[in-house]
Amino acid sequence: MRARCVAQNVVVCLVNDGVHIILLKWMSAVDSWCVMLMMKGALLLTVLYLLRCEGAVVVTVDDHPVVNDRPIIGVLSQEQSMYLHTKYPEENYTSYIAASYVKDVEASGARVVPILIGKDRSYYEELMGKLNGVLFPGGATYFNQSDGYADAGQHIYEIAQEMNDAGDYFPIFGTCLGFELLIILASGRGEPENRIRCYSYSNIPLNFTDDYHTSKMFKETPEDILELLKNEDVTVNAHQFCINDENLISHNLTQDWRVTSHSYDDYGVKFIATVEHTRYPFYGVQFHPEKSSFEWKLSKNYPHSINAVKSNRYFMDFFVKECRKNMHSFKNQAEENAYVIYNYEPHFTGVLGSAYHQCYLFEPRGTVANSG
């Protein structure tokens, strides 16, 4: 946008890009000795005559894109595990979220709303209109169960695609099982599932691709974090399935999904460790960034060193930064308060032998005998 002002013998053009004020033309000859003086005074002249400029706009040097400093992220629940069901048989909870994912999001400066499974599409559409992003957590459930984690994830994935296609920036991050779900949804759900068997229960480094530094996820990663991820056993792996390059190739996904690193399982099988969508703000990691800081079962041998905590912290910090680009919000404080995770109390499931130190448990149905 331009505004034109005539101030005696000067024509000034104010360009609305936040940083440039350009002196276009001198209308009459001036002595060379005053040229420098007039150039120094160009900005002052612009300000003095701004109010006389028809259609002029005020610009500032420090204009920045709007950023959401109160991000709220949805974390998808999943079917109650058989192990936890044996510990809470009377309640017969429908679903759960490991508290480590909630803490991981909160440690990066965001709040959490639990997303329940078994709802119709309108529930997810309405909720995503209030949230700034969604996390698909890891866990252990099947993708072929009706009204479960995968069905809810498919609703969320498709709605997020529609939002992004309409220019509404909406990020998704998948961890382990959540990463696998992203790729299976992109592949088209069906049998056989587009993932392979592998066995990885070790702490291992990442093997970055040659061009990883140009990716969205890693282009601004501090060098010391990259060195830790490359050279130290800091990523926690705990999975019996994985995605490899052939899974992307066989389903024509290589144009849509960009691989940025690989790892090797306990038997030398190469699998994709980090990935991102080329058009949408969708990201996935096969390992567990949350466990170094927030899971404490001794037999699991999770790395809790300063380097492990520091390097794994990067991933949720990155995702929350992405979610800050979304400006969705609840209509008021009362509605926000009704949805956030603080309405639920985490259970100390670690003392019961669970691999999760704490869990949020949702929608008790009563005993199986009484649930009809």
Task: Show which residues are catalytic.
Answer: 176, 288
Between CA 24 and CA 295 the distance in angstroms is 63
Between CA 116 and CA 190 the distance in angstroms is 23
**In terms of DSSP H, where are the helices of 108-261?**
121-128, 149-165, 177-187, 223-231, 245-250
Distances (CA, A) of 145 to 136, 142, 148, 334, 365: 16, 6, 6, 35, 18
Coil vs helix vs strand at 321: helix
Counting DSSP H helices and E strands in the chain, the numbers are 12, 18
- 36 close to 76: Cβ distance less than 8 angstroms: no
* Torsion-angle region of 358 (φ positive above 0: left; ψ -120 to 50: alpha; else: beta): beta
One DSSP character per residue, 84-96 reads HHHHSTTT-EEEE
- 322 close to 281: Cβ distance less than 8 angstroms: yes
- Listed residue (67, 46, 66, 59) closest to 18, CA to CA: 59
